[in-house]
Chain A
Amino acid sequence: MAEDCNALSDEAFRRLFRDWVQANCPPHLRNMRKQRPLFGEVADWYRALAQKGWLAPTWPKEHGGMGLTPAKHIIYVEEWGRLGCPRIPDHGIGLVGPLLIQYGTPEQKAHYLPRILSGEDVWCQGYSEPNAGSDLASLRTAAVREGDVFIVNGQKIWTTLAHGANWMFVLVRTDRTAKVRQNGISVLLLDLKSPGVRIRPIANLRGETDFCEVFLDDVRVPAENLVGELDRGWTVAKSVLGHERIFLGAPTRPEYALGRLERLAEARGAFADRAFVSRYARLRLDVYDLASAFERFANVLRRGGELGADVSMLKILATELYQRITEEMLTIAGEEARFADDLEAGNEQIDAMNLFLDSRAPAIFGGANEIQKNILAKAVLGLPG
């Protein structure tokens, strides 16, 4: 790779990245309505990034990544969002890569990492189960060692983009007798083309199929596909997300929704309505202050520090704010809020209902907001259990 991005000033890197994205992210993929496109829908963008060497911002350079510092990574993510680039199937880049780089064997790294960068392997994340959602540690999908394979039986659910993936990294129970439930869980790399795997997409409230059920019946997984130590998968899984946790609470989504609300309000003359302006002002200031709070945590990273559990507050604030903004869109839509399709706003279409429905999800996934509050109560305020 030609540039050492970390050596550039923040502004120079921002410009470099923005200019390149402007020139190379296909226009028809910008500001896609679809939140989670499949690999095939965004393959051109994925490959353009891969060719430039900019697909994996945080992977070390020796593994084909950019090796960006957290400060530069924040810029990368901010510009990506601002320029309306589509989300790519990023479980391989964001989760499997860091997992293998930290815990993988040399053979695992050599085999899987290049295949992620080339797009040959598309990964999904097998965590939640029908009876293990917020209480993930109660998961029951079992892996039993038989010779040099694990036999896996069970069911995963809410597996995002499983129907577009060919591999899944999966949390399985390898010791049913462990006294502490978090012990006895392991991480396996599972080939979704294996016999015994059945994937059923699930339609969501927006009528899209972002997530799936994955049924596993006597699936044979080679023992060498274990990542990290046997029965220590909980620690492995938890440690993968480092500074990236800040992005769960990025102000990007609320900012985008607020922009849409403003367009709708302008087109409908709502800014002449004092009651609306009062409600809008509250939302506007909430977005503004969320950005201030995001900066507070970003500064921790810029100064070389590590994020604590307190960063979860951003996730709660950002997701609830996104919801409230979309609710306001439906309020000013009046009786038109009865429709499923988009609203006219001058010469634009505003997908108010689509955003309202979309905003239901982030408050639930990645640890429901109530779970985040439980964590904050213990880890930050030191409240008794």
Chain B
Amino acid sequence: MPRAIIDDADGTLALLRQSATQFAARHDGPSGLRSKRAQESDIDRQTWTAMAEAGWTGLLLPESLGGAGLGLGEQAVLSEALGYALVAEPLALVCVPAAILLANAPPSPERTRLAAGLASGDRVVVPAWQDPTITIGRDAAGLVLNGDLRFVDGARSATDFLLVVAGVEGAMLLSVPADQPGLSVLSRPGVDGAAISSLSFSACRVATDRVLDRRDSREMLLRGPLLQARLALAAELAGIACGALDRTVDYSKTRVQFGKPIASFQAIQHRLVEMWMDAELACAALVRAVERLSAGDGQEAHLAVLAAKARAGDAAVSIGRRAVHLHGAMGYTDECAIGLYLKRALNLSAAFGQPESLRLEFVARERAA
């Protein structure tokens, strides 16, 4: 029932929300997650292709790079609507940071190729940057990579990786084909069923024309992509929170015990109201982050994005927990979709900064100013 209320003068956001809802009716979220779990996969190619056709994989890419050229308000509305229906393809985790990394890089044929592939869905372009233990050497043919990168979503389905790594020459954005010799993908099951991978490089050779961008530090490369990805994740989490809430409200109105719907008991009512307030807060925090980041990426935007991701993560997980409880024994079954909301929330809440670390970052940033 709660929704992020973002300025929508010409009604495009409402249309986008509507098409996301229609999309979710054709691509059932809970069964998508279950089939990922069964197949140990991370992206459903059929759903992914349909998303690309809708313009969503390249939503944030400029039109000059083959994207939709839309803004973070649109991304937020889309991610929120998909989260609500638990359509769990990694748009926020993969497409958003990939689009911003590419958009920020200087023009090159390689950039053009990857951006076009990302937008069309022909290529699955997956960023990897977390927990780097990478060393970058050089030989006659170009760069030689050794080491690991962790917490990579969509790696099993990737055609290309976008690595954000640093060495003595500074930080760089590298494009590496997924089938490059010396690169292996190690996957573990994510809590919600989608696989999460590590990339392991062993004398992996990368030609220098695959260096897409260079900056002084990884932070400079990651600043924009991380802000936008966290915002999109906040939106998806807010959507998950609202979806879990609505399912639970509906369930409690139909589940009869002691001759009455359990929603008529005050103990249940107050819990549901508290869950609703948490969902509303998440939406309000999200709106503030969209507004601030739309106005520029300074301190205000950073704070607002940190707050939104922390709030939405906490809301989605804690609403998920209470939602499972209010579904009773049914909630504890694998068959009931409410548990998938909790699991998806657990996954995304911990991704790209979990709430406690985001809050500490917020305070450190604010008090340093």
What is the bound-complex CA distance between A382 and B272, given in angstroms? Answer: 11
- Contact (Cβ within 8 A) A284 B280: no
A residues 240-298 with Cβ under 8 Å of B? 271, 277-278, 280-282, 284-285, 288-290, 292-293, 295-296
Judged by DSSP, the binding face of B is helix
- Given A296-B287, A374-B269, A381-B363 contact (CB < 8 Å): no
Q: Does B134 contact A (CB under 8 A)?
A: no
Q: Which residue of A lies closest to B289 (CB)?
A: A292
Q: Does A175 contact B (CB under 8 A)?
A: no
A residues 340-385 with Cβ under 8 Å of B? 370, 373-374, 376-377, 380-385
- Contact (Cβ within 8 A) B270 A370: yes
Q: Which residue of B lies closest to A378 (CB)?
A: B269
What is the bound-complex CA distance between A382 and B260, given in angstroms? Answer: 15
- Given A374-B269, A380-B276, A282-B359 contact (CB < 8 Å): yes
- Contact (Cβ within 8 A) A284 B362: yes
Q: Which of A89-97, A124-132, A181-189, A309-317 contacts B (4 or more CB under 8 A)?
A: A309-317
- Given A299-B5, A383-B249, A383-B253, A377-B360 contact (CB < 8 Å): no
What is the bound-complex CA distance between A293 and B303, given in angstroms? Answer: 16
- Given A313-B277, A377-B269, A292-B249 contact (CB < 8 Å): no
Contacts of B186 in A (CB 8 A): none
- Cβ-neighbour of B280 out of A285, A310, A377, A382 (below 8 A): A310
What is the bound-complex CA distance between A384 and B269, given in angstroms? Answer: 9
- Number of chain A residues whose Cβ lies closer than 8 Å to a Cβ of chain B: 31
- Contact (Cβ within 8 A) B307 A288: yes
Q: Does B219 contact A (CB under 8 A)?
A: no
- Contact (Cβ within 8 A) A373 B359: no
Nearest Cβ on chain B to A298's Cβ, whole angstroms: 11
What is the bound-complex CA distance between A384 and B367, given in angstroms? Answer: 47
- Contact (Cβ within 8 A) A296 B5: yes
A residues 37-79 with Cβ under 8 Å of B? none
B276-306 near A? 1/0 per residue, CB < 8 Å: 1100110111011000000000000001000
By a beta-carbon cutoff of 8 Å, the part of chain A in contact with chain B is 271, 277-278, 280-282, 284-285, 288-290, 292-293, 295-296, 299, 310, 313, 316-317, 370, 373-374, 376-377, 380-385
- Closest A-B pairs by Cβ, 3 of them: A377-B269, A281-B359, A293-B284
A-B contact pairs, 12 of them (CB 8 A): A278-B356, A284-B359, A289-B284, A292-B281, A293-B281, A293-B284, A313-B277, A374-B266, A377-B270, A377-B273, A383-B249, A383-B264
